[in-house]
Amino acid sequence: MKFPAEPFRIKVVERIRQTTRDEREQCLQKAGMNVFSIKSDSIYVDLLTDSGTGAMSDEQWAGLMVGDESYAGSRSYFKFEKAILDITGYKEVIPTHQGRVAENLLFSTICKPGDIVPNNTHFDTTRANVEANHAEACDLPVKEALQPSLEKPFKGNMDVKKLDALLTEKRDKIPMVVMTVTNNSMGGQPVSMENIRETSKVCKKHGVMFLIDCARFAENSWFIHELESGYKNKEIIDIARELFSYADGCWMSSKKDALVNIGGFIALNDIELTKQIQNKLILIEGFPTYGGLAGRDLEAIARGLYEGLNQDYLQYRTAQVRYLGEMLLEAGISIVRPVGGHAVFIDAKHFAPHIPQEQFPGVALTVAMYREGGIRGVEIGSLMFGKNGSNGKDSHPPLELVRLAVPRRVYTTAHMTYVAEKIIEIFKQREKMKGLRLTYEAPMLRHFTARMEEID
Ligand code: F0G
């Protein structure tokens, strides 16, 4: 069997609407060919992100009813705190309403202008929060990460030698080192326990704080269980505990592996630093026993953190994403390999070689996916990263990707088959895909609001 059947049955369903091709064409024109501007009611399978889009379990929904909405000392907060302390082993917990607020609080407290923050690879909001504090976000991925078709495990790893060299040269400018698990910006690739251990050793040698951006720590722990020797007989939760034990703290966008629609936290060993952050928390999020969350959200996270570590769930989850990737691969479509934890990344340059980078081949693929199948993915290429150079011309990133991020426990295998079949149909007639030109772009983060037209 290629795919383990879903380890749940369905108690509540949400209707999704099939649209006609004509309707979708109109939606595209209205949206200026930008799928961010299409209403979700007109989308059949939405693979824009796996963040906050998961389905909660009956246990989590039941938790909402017992949520304690007390302003201070909420019962639900203590359940939330207990779960995080149990899984991470750290001493202190700070609740936030999502990951980027945790980043804002951490970097604005720790970073000084001119500092450098090394990371295996920063996620966009992480980078933006480092840069907002006039510090430099330095990515140190292993070189294999930059070869999308290379089939090698743990391409999410940190280049530990480069990290050591950077710390030797500029220790006084480096207030912390970050490891992102899994490495979202590098194809959702996992990081090995060995690499986390080595990174930890280097951080200890230089006396620098080591933090984990743990949005997808459960998926990462699953890959360690499957791929790294010595972990086959360990419980996933114990693998997670070991992973956290090598660092001084973490922060999490709980909208991923905690299986909730909103939430986040910071967990730290440093009590002084926690106090400083708590003072800011009160100013921008809320009292330290709720952060930016309702009591019922805290209740759902406490339960979701354990559900996200369940072995049957993780086996199904990662196999579902892999199933989608393998269907595309078998049809000759080039994707980032091996398939990562939460998403399949299609190589749009290979998919549509007749569309030059300045005509946004990745966007052309997102347009075709919506037009042919009502499927929404996101371009990670020249629209997202191509900046206007000083000569007025755009620069282009090395890779033109389209991410198909799979929400957790939301779509069935049949939906994945549908998505793959539609994309394969498009691939067979890919010469029909058209490049695009911009008709409007914002000065920053242009991909969210850009308007484009197809070039005939
Ligand atoms: N860190 C990582 C690794 C992430 O993937 C994200 C969000 C964040 C931090 C920020 O958390 O959204 O709760 O504020 N990633 C989403 C995505 C948005 O689509 O990959 P947030």
Give residue limits of the domains in the chain: 21-50+311-454, 58-307
Topology alike, domains 21-50+311-454 and 58-307 = no
Predicted confidence at residue 393, as pLDDT, reads 64
Centroid of ligand 1 to alpha carbon of 35 (angstroms):
19
The pLDDT tens digits for 369-394 are 999 999 999 999 999 887 654 455 67
Mutation pick for ligand 1 pocket among 46, 125, 181 (CB with most ligand atoms within 8 Å): 125
| Ligand 1 close to Cβ of residue 446 (< 6 A) | no
pTM here is 0.96
Protein residue with least CA distance to atom 8, ligand 1: 99
Predicted confidence at residue 387, as pLDDT, reads 66
Predicted confidence at residue 1, as pLDDT, reads 55
- For domain 58-307, the CATH class is alpha beta
> Which residues of the chain are modeled with pLDDT < 70?
1-2, 387-393
The pLDDT tens digits for 196-235 are 999 999 999 999 999 999 999 999 999 999 999 999 999 9
Predicted confidence at residue 39, as pLDDT, reads 97
Q: Is 124 a catalytic residue?
A: yes
- For domain 21-50+311-454, the CATH class is alpha beta
3-class DSSP string for the chain: CCCCCCCCCCCCCCCCCCCCHHHHHHHHHHCCCCHHHCCHHHCCEECCCCCCCCCCCHHHHHHHHCCCCCCCCCHHHHHHHHHHHHHHCCCEEEEECCHHHHHHHHHHHHCCCCCEEEECCCCHHHHHHHHHCCCEEEECECHHHHCCCCCCCCCCCECHHHHHHHHHHHHHHCCEEEEECCEHHHCCECCCHHHHHHHHHHHHHHCCEEEEECCCHHHHHHHHHHHCCCCCCCCHHHHHHHHHHCCCEEEEECCCCCCCCCCEEEEECCHHHHHHHHHHHHHHCCCCCCCCCCHHHHHHHHHHHHHCCCHHHHHHHHHHHHHHHHHHHHCCCCECCCCCCCEEEEEHHHHCCCCCHHHCHHHHHHHHHHHHHCEECEEECHHHHCCECCCCCECCCCCCEEEEECCCCCCCHHHHHHHHHHHHHHHHCHHHCCCEEEEECCCCCHHHCCEEEECC
